[in-house]
Structure 1
Amino acid sequence: MSDHEQQPAPRRGKVLDALTRAERQVFTRPTPKSAKSQIKFLLTRAKGSTKALAARLGVSRRTVQRYRAGQLTTPNKRLRAALMEETESEWQPQVRAQVREQASTSSGMMVEVTAYFGFTASGSSDDGRVRTITTPISPTYVKQILELQEAGATEEDLHPIVAEAITESYFTEWGTRADALTAHFTHVQSINFQF
């Protein structure tokens, strides 16, 4: 199997990408940068199996062996991206778990989103429009979002719960105004989470 036979992975979506970026911002040590060090790290996670790592990266077993031995040092663009993605997804699992636990039980997280927000409420005169909103998300919603992410939820599965979390904190101010308001967001231009 050559490095060029694999097709690129499908794009996950802006909400899922934002959750991944937020997790990677909490790393306490930098991830390995060279292809050789990334291969060595990933081999420890694959319990030394060059075959399993080759399948995961979409390259031949021999290619993995060559990078591990230092015979190859400059991966092509696709392999470089795969190495970085796989390394970052496995890096510092305890740090990631601690941050996720704290966010889902006590601290919550922040969201900054630019999207089209539409509303349904009795007597509302606020027409839908593009808004940029920065607001905290309560631990209850963080827990639901992270559980959905871990269960393999799609972008479409996450939009309603994120919209509900934003509605609660930004539009209804934790239930103190605008009862029965429901906000939906579409056409997400950008979204960022911060633990």
Structure 2
Amino acid sequence: MVDVGDGLDEADARHFTRPLPKSASAQMRFLVRQLKGTKPVADLLGISQRTVERYVKGELKKPRRALADRLYKEVRHRWQPGVRARARREAATRGGIFTSTRARFGFRAAEGSTDDPRIRDVSLALPPDYAARLFAAQESGASEAELQIPEEARDRLAAIAAAEGMSLRAYLARLAETLLTPAERAEQAEQARAVLKKWTGYAPTAAEEQDLDSELDRRLGRAAAR
């Protein structure tokens, strides 16, 4: 399974203008230059400093599969930062990103029926604001667990979608259309204030708006407690 962080790096890689170093020695030398020493690279990859030095010198050339995968991912994560930054700015301000994952969904049903649990593909186009938040979380050092949707939240969404007779993909697409970015919410609030002033001549101050919001929260909380 591809992690969220790996998926973001894969998307960045589609914009690279130069190929990544291919040999393990070239990849190791690149990391040593980036991290300014063999010790940080050894800590990053979970190997000895001597092993890093041997790859740099070309004494070792064929790493084990696990190390080769880790080496490739760490190089890709640091390759052409300028190209990566431009691609992310475009996604975060205009284009958004397209996400795709595979998960096991289904319900208790006769084997072979359409509701029988099986691996399903789920794809969703994320608008720029959500792409920006995802990039910011990754760049701030968020863990893979923090980038992923919690399992209980995913299962709840799947149950809600099924209750409405929808696939999870269709439900998420509909949900995304109803959610507003902070900028969109601010724009709607400004439009509402303009209409209120036009109809009634009343233009509440920021302090009055805060008091009204607090009172509304208090009443909603009291109603929910009943």
1:62 pairs with 2:65: no
- Could you tell me whether the CA contact under 8 Å between 2:134 and 2:147 is conserved in 1? no
Measured after TM superposition, the shift of residue 168 of structure 1 is 9.0
Equivalences for residues 4-153 of structure 1 within 5 A: 14-47=3-36, 49-115=37-103, 116=105, 132-151=121-140, 152-153=142-143
- Aligned residue for 1:37, secondary structure, equals helix
Larger radius of gyration: 2
Residue identity opposite 2:27 in structure 1: Q
Measured after TM superposition, the shift of residue 133 of structure 1 is 5.0
Inter-partner Cα distance in structure 2 for 1:56 and 1:134: 32
Residue identity opposite 1:170 in structure 2: A
Inter-partner Cα distance in structure 1 for 2:53 and 2:147: 40
TM-score by length of 1: 0.62
Residue identity opposite 1:89 in structure 2: H
Measured after TM superposition, the shift of residue 32 of structure 1 is 0.6
Inter-partner Cα distance in structure 2 for 1:157 and 1:15: 6
Measured after TM superposition, the shift of residue 134 of structure 1 is 4.1
Inter-partner Cα distance in structure 2 for 1:167 and 1:139: 20
Matched length = 153
Query: Measured at CA, do residues 104 and 167 of structure 1 come closer, stay the same or move farther in structure 2, by a change above 3 Å?
Result: farther
1:171 pairs with 2:158: no
Cα offsets for 1:129-163 (capped at 9, x unmatched): 98755443211121122222333054465428998
Measured after TM superposition, the shift of residue 41 of structure 1 is 0.7
- Aligned residue for 2:177, secondary structure, equals coil
Q: Which runs of 5+ in 1 are unaligned?
A: 1-10, 118-128, 176-195
Identity %: 34
Aligned to 1:159: 149
Q: Which one is further off, 28-37 or 56-65?
A: 56-65
Query: Measured at CA, do residues 100 and 76 of structure 1 come closer, stay the same or move farther in structure 2, by a change above 3 Å?
Result: same
- Aligned residue for 2:125, secondary structure, equals strand
Q: Which has the higher strand share?
A: 1
Q: CA RMSD in A?
A: 3.5
Q: Which runs of 5+ in 2 are unaligned?
A: 107-116, 158-168, 179-226
Inter-partner Cα distance in structure 1 for 2:78 and 2:174: 37
- Aligned residue for 2:20, secondary structure, equals coil
- Could you tell me whether the CA contact under 8 Å between 1:108 and 1:142 is conserved in 2? yes
Measured after TM superposition, the shift of residue 23 of structure 1 is 2.2
